[in-house]
């Protein structure tokens, strides 16, 4: 499954390229760039002079003679594009963080709630204090009933990844699961090694 940030960036890049290409096409034609700089556009290239139109009278007459289905097909295609754009916008506005976690698991114990940011900060602080860990960043995602933990650790050059991962699981993550009452909270851990300056030989 493609991660949502990657999908969003891909869709935004594709839409940006389409809009950029269309804008440059219109600007080149509007400022008569091809004639002024003696450029030869490809054969059949639309909008090459300021007097050109995207859909001429002949094209409109040719498509209009295709029957009754032509305009309904265009309207249906535009409506589909609008619905997809609206769905994508609503998906971006949807909360990706659980907000509040009920302490004690499900069902909540006495209505006590823990903010996801407070939990992530606590895990990050405890993970950053582990031996060989230079920096720790934690994010809580998912739904309140099924939270997920994403941890990114930056290790010192001499720290073994296996030992750091074991210390993280036995320390901060176990404490978080025990404190919140979510024993099956899935966790994704990303490890990276901090860059260090090369030693100069004298």
Determine how β-strand 146-155 pairs with β-strand 187-193.
parallel
Q: Using CA atoms, how far apart are residues 33 and 121, in angstroms rounded to an integer?
A: 56
Each residue's pLDDT tens digit, 93-132: 665 666 677 676 555 455 567 888 888 999 999 999 999 9
The per-residue pLDDT for 7 is 76
Q: Using CA atoms, how far apart are residues 37 and 32, in angstroms rounded to an integer?
A: 9
Higher-pLDDT residue of 83, 67:
83
User: Does 10 have pLDDT greater than 90?
Assistant: no
The model's pTM is 0.52
The per-residue pLDDT for 159 is 87
Angle at 86 between CA 91 and CA 74, to 5 degrees: 145
pLDDT, average across residues 73-100: 79
Which uninterrupted H or E stretch holds 147? strand 146-155
Each residue's pLDDT tens digit, 143-180: 877 888 999 999 998 889 999 999 999 999 999 988 88
Q: How far is CA 116 from CA 64, 66, 151, 188, in A?
A: 58, 58, 14, 16
Q: Are 168 and 129 in contact (CB under 8 A)?
A: no
Each residue's pLDDT tens digit, 45-63: 778 888 877 666 666 666 6
């Amino acid at each position: 499954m493609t991660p949502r940030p990657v999908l969003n960036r891909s869709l935004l890049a594709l839409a940006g390229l389409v809009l950029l290409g269309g804008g440059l096409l219109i600007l080149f034609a509007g400022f008569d760039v091809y004639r002024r700089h003696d450029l030869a556009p490809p054969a059949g290239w639309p909008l090459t002079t300021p007097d050109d139109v995207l859909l001429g009278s002949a094209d409109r007459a040719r498509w209009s003679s295709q029957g009754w289905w032509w305009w309904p097909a265009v309207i249906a295609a535009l409506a589909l594009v609008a619905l997809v754009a609206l769905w994508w916008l609503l998906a971006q506005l949807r909360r990706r963080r659980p907000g509040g976690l009920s302490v004690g698991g499900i069902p909540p114990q006495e209505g006590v709630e823990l903010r996801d940011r407070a939990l992530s900060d606590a895990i990050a602080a405890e993970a950053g204090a582990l031996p060989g860990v230079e920096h720790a960043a934690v994010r809580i995602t998912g739904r309140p009933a099924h939270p997920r933990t994403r941890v990114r650790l930056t290790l010192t050059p001499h720290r073994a990844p296996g030992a750091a991962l074991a210390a993280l699981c036995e320390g901060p993550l176990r404490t978080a699961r025990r404190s919140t009452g979510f024993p099956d909270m899935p966790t994704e851990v990303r490890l990276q090694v901090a860059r260090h300056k090369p030693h100069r030989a004298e």
